[in-house]
Every structure is written in C-alpha cells, then in structure tokens.
Chain A
Amino acid sequence: MLRKEHKVSNITSEAIFAIPTMKPSKVLLSLTFCFLLILTDINYKSSEILRAYGKDMLIPVIYIAKTPVFIFNTVIDFFNTRQDLRFTIKALEQENFKLKSMNSLMNEISFENKRLSSLEDSIDDNPDNYYLVKKKFLSSNDLKPVMTISVNSQEEVFAKNNAVLSEKGLIGRIVSQGLLNAEVMLVQDSRSLVPVVSSTSRLHAILQGSGLSRLGHLNNIKKSAEYKIGEELYSSGLGGVYPSGYPVAKIKTIKDNTDNEFLDIQVAFLQSPVDQDYFLVKKNIQVDE
C-alpha cells in the first residue's frame, strides 16, 4: 500500500482511507495556464505555427487508427471464395458488354472533348501550380471544421493561404503548415470570409460560412442589390488570398426583413469535404508576386 493512500487513526490505530484529490491551488494554476494558452492563440495565432508540427507527431496515431480497418478489408479480400470471384467475373462481363455498347456513343463525345481540351490549353495556367493532396483528418467540430491534408514541405505549392480546390470549386485555404501535414480552413468555417462575385448580376460580396452542412451567408448586402435565387457565386480574388474565378456557392434564399437594414442572403456551398478524399492545392501567384 502506498503511503499516500491512507492515514492511521491516532485513537484506534485503524487505517483511514482518504485519497487526497487534486489541490485546488494546482487546479487554479493549470486553469490559468490553459487560459493563457487560449489567449495567446486568440491574439497571436500561436497554434497556427505549432499545430501542423504537432500533427506531424500525431501521424503514427492516425495510421494506427486506420490499421484495423485495413487489416479487416485485407482479410475479407483474402477469404473471398472462388464462387464469389465467379459472380464477380459474370458481373464484370455484363458491365463490359454495357460499356462496349456505350463506346460508340463516346466516340461522338470524345470529339466534343477534344474541342474543350483545346479551349483548356488556351487558358494561361501552369499545371505545375497545382498539386494533388489526400485528406487525412477532419475535425469533429462541425461549426469550425478544419481539414488536415498530407503535404510534402519541399513542394513550393504548399504555403500558408494557398487555395484548396475540388472538382466543384473552392474548398478552403491552408492556414497552418508542418513537415508532413497542412491544415485547411474550409469555406464553411464560421471564421472564413471569402470575397465573391455573383455570376449574372456581377455584384461583389463577402461570403461567410456557418459550419458544415449549413447554409452560409453574404455579409452586409444593401437592400437595393439585385441578387437572384440560384445564382452562382465565384471567388473574386479581391484581397489576394483566394484565386479568382472558382465557383464557391449558390444563392439559396433571399429575405428582406423589415427590422434589418441589410438583405439576409443564404447560400449553399457547392462541395462538402466530408465525402471527398482528394483535393488540389493551387499555388497563390498573386501573393508571391
């Protein structure tokens, strides 16, 4: 028995079991330390420097967490019987037949594609400015979602404020970079502000997120502004943080409340990172220049 775990009664010499709890003074000291950490983070953004490097250290934990699922899938694959494989072959043959019949149709589409690719070539954008990255982790706080992506610190593409894109448009920007990880603040984050321009009315605005699976909103829009429901919003590139011309969201509702001097415009984001694994990082040329 450890010395701390009991006292001995002076009267009866019996053991009195009283485990001392944390000292309130120590608790207060640690709470003050935590408050200091929080205040430093709020005022000086200290965690933006530390977090990605800290996450580098936590990589083994993330990989260990994925290992059981990987082993389970491998075992399932291994024990697939011959019968299962026959069924698979039969299904694939049917799929092949369908694909052959579709192929004739594709010839026509490929002609259209050639025209489009020539159009794409005409755009003066270097493919070296893009880099494919994989999602590693998505934070569990859906109000302030932060996505972690795997990076190679030697690549020039990975730097703070570089835009992260998906096939549907803008996803967010890098806020913290480590050796093997980078953190991406998503456009759905309530802290994120994206300068946007509408597709048809060509009006500029600031788009703010409200969390994942929620509608975002346009800030301080005058009542005279003529936005339309269903209009797409593209990044305007103002401020030089986000690149211009990428689709971000679509206008969902426009409300004109009498008690508000601004319009209440809610927008739906085009892409959620929850069900997507791969993204593109674009080098921010405007900032470099």
Chain B
Amino acid sequence: MNRALKNRLLIYLCLFIGLIIDSYNFSNNFQFIKPSFVLLILIYWNMALPDKVGITTALLFGVLIDLLHSSLLGLHGLLFVLISYLCQRFFYQFRITPIWQQSFLIFIIAIFVKQILAFDFLDSEVNRTNLSDNYYFINTLYFAILSSLSWAPVYHLCRLYRRRWIKT
C-alpha cells in the first residue's frame, strides 16, 4: 500500500477510536461533562502532522459527531474546521510550548466549543440567544478541566502511536 495512504488511514483509525470512546454512554451526569476525545485527537494530529490532516478530516468527523450527538448538522463540522485551521496556523508556536501550557489552550478551546453549542440557533427561547445558565456554565468548566487534564495522556498516547506506526 502507498505510504501516504497508509499514514492517512492510520490517522483516521486513531480518530475513529476517539469516536468510539465518545460514543460510550454514561448513565449519570458525567455524560454531559465528558471530554470530546475526537476533538483532542484532531488537535493532536493538526499539531503533529499538519500536512496529513485537513479540512476533509475535520468536516467528516464533525458531521459524524453531529449525527452521534444529534446537534445541528454542520455545527461540529464548522467548529472542527475552525479549530483545525487555528491549530495549523499556529502549530509552530503550539508545538514548542510545554504540555501544561498546551493544556491551558485546550481549556480555552473547550470552553469556546461548549459555549457555541449552547447557542439558540432554533430560536426556542424568545428573549435569549444563548441558552447557557449557571448550571451549564459549571458543566462547561468541568468539561474544560477534564479536557485539559485528558490532553497530556492523549498527547503521549498519540505520540507513541505516531512513532510506532506512522513513518514519514
């Protein structure tokens, strides 16, 4: 098999594993604060091998997440493309920062993602454009903290996977 194609398939496999983890259903409120592993893995590959992941990957997995979480079709796609672009635009700076600083950036990205998802696109509440309340904001903080804490293990596991399997 062509090396470039094999690498691409291996990256897709990694993202697919993230999708499997994301699709696990927790029977308590942890369901609403669990980190999005597809997003974390996508950020990693955008940072590690920006020439091998692109708009198509971000769009595809965004739409799959939309289907899985029943959100507006295209919303996660939009977020993933935007985050991928920002990661690729600043990946030189992002890659050399220490892991705790990267975790902090993940924290900010996670808050941004969760707040965008609270937008009232369907105009279900007349007086509000964002459905977020105190409870949702606390959930957003938990989500961001868990995402930033998950970043270090995800980063190291993906790096191990890249060094073991992906030959450039």
Q: B residues bordering A, Cβ < 8 Å?
A: 4, 16, 19-21, 23-25, 27-29, 31-32, 34, 50-51, 54-55, 58-59, 62-64, 66-75, 77-78, 81-82, 84-85, 88-89, 91, 117-118, 120-122, 124-125, 131-133, 135-136, 139, 168
Contact = CB atoms under 8 A, between A and B. Distances in A.
Interface size class, chain A: 35 or more
Contacts of A1: 168
B81 A140 contact: no
B72 A41 contact: yes
Nearest to B74: A37
A2 B69 contact: no
B27 A22 contact: no
Given A41-B73, A55-B67, A212-B32, A137 B168 contact: no
Of the listed residues B28, B73, B91, the one surrounded by the most CB atoms of chain A closer than 10 A to its CB is B73
A51 B132 CA distance: 25
A190 B131 contact: yes
Given A143-B118, A213-B29, A21 B72 contact: no
Nearest to A276: B27
B67 A51 contact: yes
Contact of A275 (B28, B75, B82, B120): B28
A34 interface: yes
A202 B74 CA distance: 43
Given A5-B51, A66-B24, A22 B88 contact: yes
Contact of A38 (B28, B32, B73): B73
A30 B59 contact: yes
B71 A35 contact: no
Contacts of A21: 50, 85, 88-89, 91
Interface string A31-52: 1011111101110001100110
Contacts of A138: 25, 31
Interface string A165-179: 000000000000000
Contacts of B51: 2, 4-5, 19-20
Nearest to B122: A191
A54 interface: yes
Of the listed residues A42, A144, A214, A275, the one surrounded by the most CB atoms of chain B closer than 10 A to its CB is A144
B54 A22 contact: yes
Interface string A254-284: 0000000000000000000011010000000
A50 B29 contact: no
B70 A183 contact: yes
A36 B75 CA distance: 10
Contacts of A31: 78, 81-82
B117 to A, nearest CB: 5
Given A21-B89, A66-B24, A275-B28, A190 B59 contact: no
A137 B68 contact: yes
A51 B75 CA distance: 14
Nearest to A212: B32
A139 to B, nearest CB: 4
Nearest to A214: B135
- A-B CB proximity, top 7 nearest: A37-B74, A146-B70, A34-B78, A54-B67, A21-B88, A47-B73, A65-B24
A274 B27 contact: yes
A41 B74 contact: yes
Given A30-B77, A50-B67, A144-B71, 19 more contacts: A2-B51, A4-B51, A21-B89, A22-B54, A22-B55, A27-B55, A27-B81, A34-B78, A38-B75, A41-B74, A54-B67, A58-B67, A137-B23, A139-B71, A190-B125, A191-B124, A211-B131, A211-B136, A274-B28
25 contacts: A1-B168, A2-B4, A21-B50, A21-B88, A22-B88, A24-B85, A27-B82, A33-B59, A33-B74, A35-B74, A51-B73, A58-B67, A58-B68, A62-B23, A66-B25, A135-B25, A138-B25, A141-B69, A141-B71, A143-B118, A143-B132, A146-B70, A183-B70, A274-B29, A274-B31
